[in-house]
Amino acid sequence: MSVVMRAGCAAAALFAAFATGCGGHGRAAGTIVFESDRTGRAAVYAVREDGSGLKKLLDLPEEAEVIWTRDGTKALVLAHPSYVFTPASRARRTIRLPGLASDNVPSWSPDDKRLAFATDHGDVVALNVTSGVRHRFAEGSNGFAMAWSPDGKRLLFIGDSNGALYTAPARGGKRMRLLRLPGDVYPGALLQWSADGKWISL
Protein backbone atom coordinates (compact mmCIF):
# COMPACT_ATOMS: atom_id res chain seq x y z
CA MET A 1 0.00 0.00 0.00
CA SER A 2 1.24 3.48 -0.82
CA VAL A 3 0.14 6.93 0.20
CA VAL A 4 0.98 10.06 -1.75
CA MET A 5 1.19 13.35 0.14
CA ARG A 6 1.69 16.88 -1.10
CA ALA A 7 2.80 19.97 0.80
CA GLY A 8 4.01 23.41 -0.22
CA CYS A 9 7.43 24.88 0.49
CA ALA A 10 8.89 28.31 -0.10
CA ALA A 11 10.82 27.62 -3.27
CA ALA A 12 9.18 24.59 -4.84
CA ALA A 13 6.41 22.06 -4.33
CA LEU A 14 7.32 19.09 -2.18
CA PHE A 15 5.91 15.75 -3.23
CA ALA A 16 6.26 12.63 -1.07
CA ALA A 17 5.31 9.00 -1.55
CA PHE A 18 5.40 6.48 1.28
CA ALA A 19 5.79 2.90 0.04
CA THR A 20 5.63 -0.08 2.39
CA GLY A 21 7.49 -3.33 1.92
CA CYS A 22 9.03 -6.24 3.80
CA GLY A 23 11.86 -5.19 6.07
CA GLY A 24 14.07 -6.90 8.64
CA HIS A 25 12.41 -8.70 11.53
CA GLY A 26 9.10 -8.68 9.64
CA ARG A 27 8.60 -4.95 10.12
CA ALA A 28 7.19 -2.70 7.39
CA ALA A 29 9.98 -0.58 5.99
CA GLY A 30 9.34 2.51 3.91
CA THR A 31 10.98 5.03 1.65
CA ILE A 32 10.06 8.67 1.21
CA VAL A 33 10.56 10.06 -2.28
CA PHE A 34 10.37 13.83 -2.62
CA GLU A 35 11.26 16.85 -4.72
CA SER A 36 13.56 19.52 -3.29
CA ASP A 37 15.78 22.40 -4.38
CA ARG A 38 18.00 22.09 -1.29
CA THR A 39 21.17 22.49 -3.39
CA GLY A 40 19.85 25.35 -5.49
CA ARG A 41 18.66 23.03 -8.25
CA ALA A 42 15.47 20.97 -8.15
CA ALA A 43 15.91 17.21 -7.92
CA VAL A 44 14.09 14.08 -6.76
CA TYR A 45 15.52 12.43 -3.63
CA ALA A 46 14.84 9.26 -1.65
CA VAL A 47 15.36 8.71 2.07
CA ARG A 48 14.52 5.92 4.51
CA GLU A 49 11.77 6.41 7.07
CA ASP A 50 14.34 6.94 9.83
CA GLY A 51 16.03 9.75 7.87
CA SER A 52 19.06 7.73 6.81
CA GLY A 53 20.29 6.82 3.34
CA LEU A 54 19.47 10.09 1.60
CA LYS A 55 20.26 9.84 -2.11
CA LYS A 56 19.50 11.84 -5.22
CA LEU A 57 17.55 9.95 -7.86
CA LEU A 58 17.06 12.52 -10.58
CA ASP A 59 18.07 16.07 -11.52
CA LEU A 60 15.06 18.03 -12.75
CA PRO A 61 15.14 20.42 -15.71
CA GLU A 62 14.64 24.08 -14.89
CA GLU A 63 10.97 24.95 -14.30
CA ALA A 64 9.93 21.30 -14.63
CA GLU A 65 6.71 20.23 -12.92
CA VAL A 66 6.34 16.82 -11.25
CA ILE A 67 2.97 15.07 -11.08
CA TRP A 68 2.90 11.86 -9.05
CA THR A 69 0.54 8.94 -9.62
CA ARG A 70 -1.88 8.11 -6.83
CA ASP A 71 0.16 5.13 -5.67
CA GLY A 72 3.41 7.10 -5.72
CA THR A 73 5.26 4.57 -7.89
CA LYS A 74 5.91 6.90 -10.82
CA ALA A 75 5.65 10.52 -11.84
CA LEU A 76 5.11 12.61 -14.93
CA VAL A 77 7.85 15.21 -15.34
CA LEU A 78 6.60 18.10 -17.45
CA ALA A 79 9.66 19.41 -19.28
CA HIS A 80 11.17 19.55 -22.78
CA PRO A 81 10.78 16.70 -23.50
CA SER A 82 8.35 15.35 -20.90
CA TYR A 83 8.86 11.87 -19.47
CA VAL A 84 7.53 9.34 -16.97
CA PHE A 85 9.97 8.62 -14.12
CA THR A 86 9.92 5.46 -11.97
CA PRO A 87 11.92 5.99 -8.73
CA ALA A 88 12.28 2.26 -7.94
CA SER A 89 14.27 1.59 -11.12
CA ARG A 90 15.29 5.18 -11.92
CA ALA A 91 13.88 4.53 -15.39
CA ARG A 92 12.79 7.42 -17.60
CA ARG A 93 10.49 7.02 -20.57
CA THR A 94 9.90 9.97 -22.89
CA ILE A 95 6.25 10.75 -23.47
CA ARG A 96 4.62 13.01 -26.04
CA LEU A 97 1.80 15.27 -24.91
CA PRO A 98 0.85 16.77 -28.29
CA GLY A 99 -0.43 20.32 -28.09
CA LEU A 100 -0.46 20.46 -24.28
CA ALA A 101 -1.76 23.86 -23.22
CA SER A 102 0.92 25.77 -21.32
CA ASP A 103 -1.40 26.52 -18.39
CA ASN A 104 -2.80 22.99 -18.11
CA VAL A 105 -1.70 20.29 -15.66
CA PRO A 106 -2.41 16.70 -16.80
CA SER A 107 -4.38 14.43 -14.48
CA TRP A 108 -3.56 10.74 -13.85
CA SER A 109 -6.39 8.22 -14.15
CA PRO A 110 -7.31 6.13 -11.08
CA ASP A 111 -5.40 3.13 -12.50
CA ASP A 112 -2.33 5.34 -13.18
CA LYS A 113 -2.24 4.25 -16.84
CA ARG A 114 -3.70 7.30 -18.60
CA LEU A 115 -3.33 11.07 -18.55
CA ALA A 116 -6.06 13.60 -19.29
CA PHE A 117 -5.09 17.07 -20.46
CA ALA A 118 -6.30 20.03 -22.50
CA THR A 119 -4.57 21.05 -25.72
CA ASP A 120 -3.73 24.54 -26.88
CA HIS A 121 -6.68 24.22 -29.28
CA GLY A 122 -9.09 23.72 -26.39
CA ASP A 123 -9.62 19.98 -26.93
CA VAL A 124 -9.66 17.44 -24.10
CA VAL A 125 -7.48 14.35 -24.61
CA ALA A 126 -7.02 11.09 -22.69
CA LEU A 127 -3.65 9.45 -23.41
CA ASN A 128 -2.51 5.92 -22.54
CA VAL A 129 1.09 6.46 -21.41
CA THR A 130 2.16 2.91 -22.34
CA SER A 131 0.55 2.38 -25.74
CA GLY A 132 0.37 6.02 -26.81
CA VAL A 133 -3.29 5.59 -27.80
CA ARG A 134 -5.16 8.91 -27.59
CA HIS A 135 -8.87 9.53 -27.23
CA ARG A 136 -9.85 13.04 -28.22
CA PHE A 137 -13.21 14.52 -27.32
CA ALA A 138 -14.84 17.82 -26.47
CA GLU A 139 -13.05 19.47 -29.39
CA GLY A 140 -12.79 23.24 -29.10
CA SER A 141 -14.52 23.29 -25.72
CA ASN A 142 -11.71 25.21 -23.97
CA GLY A 143 -11.66 22.49 -21.37
CA PHE A 144 -9.61 22.60 -18.17
CA ALA A 145 -9.58 21.30 -14.58
CA MET A 146 -10.09 17.65 -15.55
CA ALA A 147 -11.12 15.05 -12.96
CA TRP A 148 -11.52 11.30 -13.46
CA SER A 149 -14.50 9.39 -12.12
CA PRO A 150 -13.51 6.85 -9.42
CA ASP A 151 -13.93 3.96 -11.88
CA GLY A 152 -11.89 5.75 -14.57
CA LYS A 153 -14.70 5.52 -17.13
CA ARG A 154 -15.61 9.20 -17.35
CA LEU A 155 -13.94 12.60 -17.25
CA LEU A 156 -15.28 15.75 -15.69
CA PHE A 157 -14.14 19.17 -16.86
CA ILE A 158 -14.98 22.85 -17.09
CA GLY A 159 -15.57 24.02 -20.65
CA ASP A 160 -16.71 26.87 -22.87
CA SER A 161 -14.54 29.46 -21.13
CA ASN A 162 -15.73 28.56 -17.61
CA GLY A 163 -19.36 28.59 -18.73
CA ALA A 164 -20.37 25.00 -17.97
CA LEU A 165 -19.51 21.73 -16.28
CA TYR A 166 -19.27 18.70 -18.59
CA THR A 167 -18.68 14.98 -18.44
CA ALA A 168 -17.64 12.62 -21.25
CA PRO A 169 -16.59 8.97 -21.70
CA ALA A 170 -12.84 8.67 -21.05
CA ARG A 171 -12.36 6.47 -24.13
CA GLY A 172 -13.95 9.01 -26.42
CA GLY A 173 -17.53 10.00 -27.06
CA LYS A 174 -20.01 12.81 -26.88
CA ARG A 175 -19.76 15.23 -23.98
CA MET A 176 -22.78 15.91 -21.78
CA ARG A 177 -23.41 19.19 -20.03
CA LEU A 178 -24.21 18.75 -16.36
CA LEU A 179 -24.51 22.34 -15.24
CA ARG A 180 -24.44 25.84 -16.65
CA LEU A 181 -22.39 27.89 -14.20
CA PRO A 182 -23.85 31.21 -13.04
CA GLY A 183 -21.91 34.29 -14.09
CA ASP A 184 -20.91 35.08 -10.51
CA VAL A 185 -19.51 31.61 -9.85
CA TYR A 186 -15.89 30.90 -10.71
CA PRO A 187 -14.99 27.22 -10.32
CA GLY A 188 -11.86 26.19 -8.50
CA ALA A 189 -9.01 24.59 -10.40
CA LEU A 190 -9.61 21.31 -8.58
CA LEU A 191 -12.74 19.30 -9.40
CA GLN A 192 -13.45 16.25 -7.27
CA TRP A 193 -15.76 13.24 -7.46
CA SER A 194 -17.01 11.55 -4.29
CA ALA A 195 -15.70 8.03 -3.72
CA ASP A 196 -19.02 6.52 -4.87
CA GLY A 197 -19.09 8.69 -8.00
CA LYS A 198 -22.44 10.24 -7.08
CA TRP A 199 -21.33 13.71 -6.00
CA ILE A 200 -19.08 16.38 -7.47
CA SER A 201 -17.41 19.33 -5.75
CA LEU A 202 -15.98 22.41 -7.45
Whether 128 is in a domain gets the answer yes
Main-chain dihedrals φ then ψ at residue 64, nearest 5 degrees: -70, 150
Q: Which residue range forms the structural domain that includes residue 51?
A: 22-95
Residue 1 placed within a domain: no
The answer, yes or no, to whether residue 9 has pLDDT greater than 60, is no
What is the tens place of the pLDDT at every residue in 42-67? 888 888 888 888 888 888 888 888 88
pLDDT of residue 124: 83
State how far the Cα of 88 lies from the Cα of 177, in Å rounded to an integer.
41
Domain shared by 75 and 29, yes or no = yes
- Calculate what percentage of the chain has a pLDDT beyond 90: 7
Instruction: Check whether 149 has a pLDDT greater than 90.
Output: yes
pLDDT of residue 102: 61
Looking at the fold, whether 71 and 137 belong to one and the same domain comes out as no
**Mean pLDDT of the 187-198 span:** 76
Residues 78 and 159 grouped into a single domain: no
The answer on 172 and 106 residing in a single domain is yes
- CA gap 53, 180 in Å, rounded: 53
Quote the DSSP letter at residue 184. T
Tell me the residue type at 55: K
Question: Tens of pLDDT along 89-135?
Answer: 888 988 887 667 666 778 899 999 999 888 877 788 888 888 888 88
Residue 146: which CATH number?
2.120.10.30
| 123, 144 contact by CB (below 8 A) | no
**Residues 127, 183: Cα–Cα separation, whole Å:** 32
Number of domains in the chain: 2
pLDDT of 37 above 60: yes
Residue 82 has pLDDT above 50, yes or no: yes
Whether residue 87 is found in the same domain as residue 112: no
Strand partners of residue 110: none
Residues 158 and 195 occupy one common structural domain: yes
How high is the pLDDT of residue 151? 93
Query: Are the C-beta atoms of residues 175 and 141 closer than 8 Å to each other?
Result: yes
Q: Measuring CA to CA, how many Å separate 23 from each of 43, 72, 81, 107?
A: 27, 19, 37, 33
Which pLDDT value is given to residue 79?
86
